[in-house]
Structure 1
Amino acid sequence: MDADLRARFLEGMSRVAAAVTVVTTDGDAGQFGVTVSSMTSVSADTSRPSLLISVHHLSPACEAIKKNRRFCANVLSGNQSFVSDLFSGRLRHLNEDRFGAIAWHGGATGAPIIDDAIVSLDCELKTALLWGTHFIFIGEVEQIELSAQRSPLVYGNRGYRRVVPIAPDEDQPHRLESHISIGFFITLGPQFVPALVADFASQKPDVEIRLLEADHDDLIEQMRAGRIEAAITFGKVNEPDLDAELVCPPAPHVLLSADHPLAARSSLRLADLADLPMILLDYPSVRLANAALFGRNGMKPFIRFQSPSLAMVRGLVAQGLGYSIVPQAPQTRTAPDGKGILAIPLDEDFPEGAVVSIAQRSDRRSELAKDFLARCRASFGQADRP
């Protein structure tokens, strides 16, 4: 195979987000489980519903599924990354007794059903086909269990992701005659939105306010689709159908623990940080912004930890496990455990750190959206930078 074609294929497929599934089996060939990202429905209109999974031919679970003639596809919930790691072999100290480390029960076929998976589909194996390095298994579903969990664990860009709603629930009744839907970059929300919404609601009590917290690209997509009227986010917006306005210029800061070797500095440059471990807030736009910042200076960050939780990032920084870069001076300078965090100005150009408002062009913008954006600008001007 062409090596470049294979590499580009792997890179391309790494960008495809998929629900994480643990496939289990039990029977004469033994009890096994394996984590896969390739599970899909085949048909709901055969004699029984059918689905397809793909398992590497060298996996012990592969041979067991063929011999046991049964498997259960357990689609994991967002809080079950431990289960995924367990059955992918990452937790080697538990490899001898994986099923002893989780809660499960037997299904109709005898295959283990993992407790709290969002859905478990217990199947009788009907077809097994070897294609390249993987066996494709098609099973007919005998039993389906649905749990109270609804948010799936997602794997994409070579990491676990959490599902964030990017559209309002259309089933919710609209009790008020007028409404406005506004989006915010996810880290701006907790420290900026409540006071702003309270102010707007006091002035417009008859207006229903719908909020969306999401990453930058999600906000853009939802605005294109007409599901939000305006948004406050970070960075540049190159969309001809949308208007962007600077709300707050970039003011990048480096977060450090109080006892960090660089803690006494009045300002920092990237050259001071390049060889040190970084704690990255793990969102696509943040990753790209940091890559651009370092790339302009001919450097590449050494990312030690990454998390989609800003509280987790602050906690890791406070423990001295690395630094992090934020686009604005933070309001909160403590970790969740109360440890202090220092914020030292970063003496570099960081246009991706500017706070901007985005909205439909003025001729298509509602009066409510215009009013809300005006209040956003005033709020940022009056308050400490987020």
Structure 2
Amino acid sequence: MRFTLRHLEYFVAAGETGSVTLASERINISQPSISTAISHLETELGVQLFVRHHAQGLSLTPAGHRLLREAKSLLDQAHNLYTVASETTTEVRGELTVGCMLTLAPMIIPELCHSFMASFPRAMLRQQEGNQEELIDGLRRAKLDVALLYDLQLPKDIVLEGLVDLPPYVLVSEIHPMATRTTVSLKELSDEPLILLDLPLSREYFLAMFERDGLQPRIAARSAYPDVIRTMVANGYGYTLVNVRPRSDLALDGRRLVRLRLAGGHRPMKIGIATLDGVQKSRLLQAFETHCRTYISDGYIPGMVPPRLDARIGEEVG
């Protein structure tokens, strides 16, 4: 056998992304290395794995589709050797793929993953960001071992262990007429322009709050990127509703944002550790779950103002 697991890893990355460029970004390997690995496999196996489209990436041939399934299975078995080894020793080691919500990842993932790998030097964490639907799909297709997501419309095959509740609040610019307030209601906001976080399930969560109160929001703009929304709000385009509170009150352009409490007792979003129901948890996965329980709670969340501190600051301001 004149090919390696590394060749297969490069092939799988290209097969799943449909692009040498995207595969290079995904696994942090140069494009020529990936192209060379694919050509080597095609020569060694005697089959064409991809159809090359000029300026439009790659598409798998029928043989490529079959070999992709086998290659992924073989890589999974190889990775499981680390799991088997860790189960027979006291050492936590191996590779874990962690998914995280787009809205949470910039704050939570860097500290959470770095501190875990510092505690367990033989462990490697790979992170993937996505919206709720993408993360659930990743768990189902075994692309993710575990995910940090919200308790929004979870299917029965996804098990969520709740970590912390994040109440919704209102975000406005420092020059907004309501910026001097401490609390505001949805009724008062219904005629104001709303900059809506347009992510699956998160979008429905915010719109349902208006529906519950018999109100219709005036949606002025939408974006799937939280930093775009924060910057638009800071520039006076309107207000937004969010649950995540970064430690910084500045948008990316340096303008300041003001947080207002939302009256009405609306349901919070719960951050939790999600896994596929019935999955056999390795020692590595169990260690990561324990680490998450330690680092994410009502009193502390990496990169964020936790609810307990947020409530205390609100009482002092009030």
Q: Displacement of 1:193 after TM fit?
A: 0.5
Partner of 1:354: 270
Structure 2 CA distance for partners of 1:362 and 1:351, relative to 1, 3 Å: farther
Deviation sequence 1:301-341 (CA, Å, 0-9, x none) = 21111122211111110011100111133323111110100
1:217 and 2:138 correspond = no
Deviation sequence 1:328-369 (CA, Å, 0-9, x none) = 333231111101000112123443622222123476222222
Partner of 1:377: 293
Q: Displacement of 1:262 after TM fit?
A: 0.9
- CA RMSD in angstroms, aligned pairs only: 3.1
Identical-residue share of aligned pairs (%): 27
Return the structure number with greater helix share: 2
Deviation sequence 1:1-55 (CA, Å, 0-9, x none) = xxxxxxxxxxxxxxxxxxxxxxxxxxxxxxxxxxxxxxxxxxxxxxxxxxxxxxx
Residues 250 and 353 in structure 1, CA contact (< 8 A), matched pair in contact too: yes
> Aligned equivalents of 1:184 and 1:194: distance in 2?
11
> Aligned equivalents of 1:223 and 1:327: distance in 2?
24
> Aligned equivalents of 1:146 and 1:373: distance in 2?
42
Return the structure number with greater strand share: 1
- The amino acid of 1:351's aligned partner reads R
Residues 281 and 310 in structure 1, CA contact (< 8 A), matched pair in contact too: yes
Q: Secondary structure at the match of 1:259?
A: coil
Structure 1 gap segments, 5+ residues each: 1-143, 152-168
> Aligned equivalents of 1:172 and 1:309: distance in 2?
33
> Aligned equivalents of 2:54 and 2:142: distance in 1?
36
Q: Which has the higher contact order (CA 8 A, sep 6+)?
A: 2
1:281 and 2:202 correspond = no
> Aligned equivalents of 2:246 and 2:176: distance in 1?
18
Q: Displacement of 1:172 after TM fit?
A: 9.7
1:146 and 2:67 correspond = no
Residues 161 and 273 in structure 2, CA contact (< 8 A), matched pair in contact too: yes
> Aligned equivalents of 2:172 and 2:205: distance in 1?
19
> Aligned equivalents of 2:263 and 2:75: distance in 1?
47
Q: How many residue pairs are counted as aligned between the two chains?
A: 227
Deviation sequence 1:115-146 (CA, Å, 0-9, x none) = xxxxxxxxxxxxxxxxxxxxxxxxxxxxx641
Partner of 1:315: 231
Q: How does 1:16-165 map to 2 (within 5 A)?
A: 145-146=54-55
For the pair shown, the structure with the greater C-alpha radius of gyration is 1
Partner of 1:296: 212
Q: 2:163 aligns with which of 212, 234, 247?
A: 247
Residues 215 and 283 in structure 1, CA contact (< 8 A), matched pair in contact too: yes
Structure 2 gap segments, 5+ residues each: 1-52, 59-70, 83-93, 308-318
> Aligned equivalents of 2:75 and 2:256: distance in 1?
42
TM normalised by structure 1 equals 0.53
> Aligned equivalents of 2:205 and 2:248: distance in 1?
22
1:338 and 2:259 correspond = no
Structure 2 CA distance for partners of 1:366 and 1:341, relative to 1, 3 Å: same
Partner of 1:182: 98
TM normalised by structure 2 equals 0.64
